[in-house]
Amino acid sequence: MIIIYLSLALIIVSACFFIYRVISFKKEITPTMDQMTTANETIQQGISSIQYQSNQLSETQAVIINDIAYKQAAFLYTIDTCKKAVKKRLRHK
């Protein structure tokens, strides 16, 4: 019967030691987890900032492309008009 009590005592002591080690490990890992969470938040803010800047650049690029297309059309229209005017003058001479 004493063996049963010793076995139960050993199991209880083992369970207590296991619980103690789990709590100790949690206390040791908490600062590291907090640092990782802070670093993750900082990285996420950086990614959000880059995405915002990328969107702004895409919008600016679209505006520039439209402006270039408008100016190109205006320039080509001016050149064509000048060519027609020169041809008319050459015909009337």
Question: Mind listing the pLDDT tens digit for each residue in 22-52?
Answer: 999 999 999 999 999 999 999 999 999 999 9
Q: What is the pLDDT of residue 93?
A: 62
Kindly list the distances between the CA atom of residue 5 and the CA atoms of 9, 10, 11, 16, 19, in Å, as whole numbers in the listed order: 6, 8, 10, 16, 21
In the chain the first and final C-alpha atoms are separated, in Å, by 133
* Res 84 pLDDT > 80: yes
Question: Mind listing the pLDDT tens digit for each residue in 2-25?
Answer: 899 999 999 999 999 999 999 999
Q: Which tops the pLDDT comparison, 84 or 67? A: 67
**Rounded CA separation 30/36 (Å):** 10
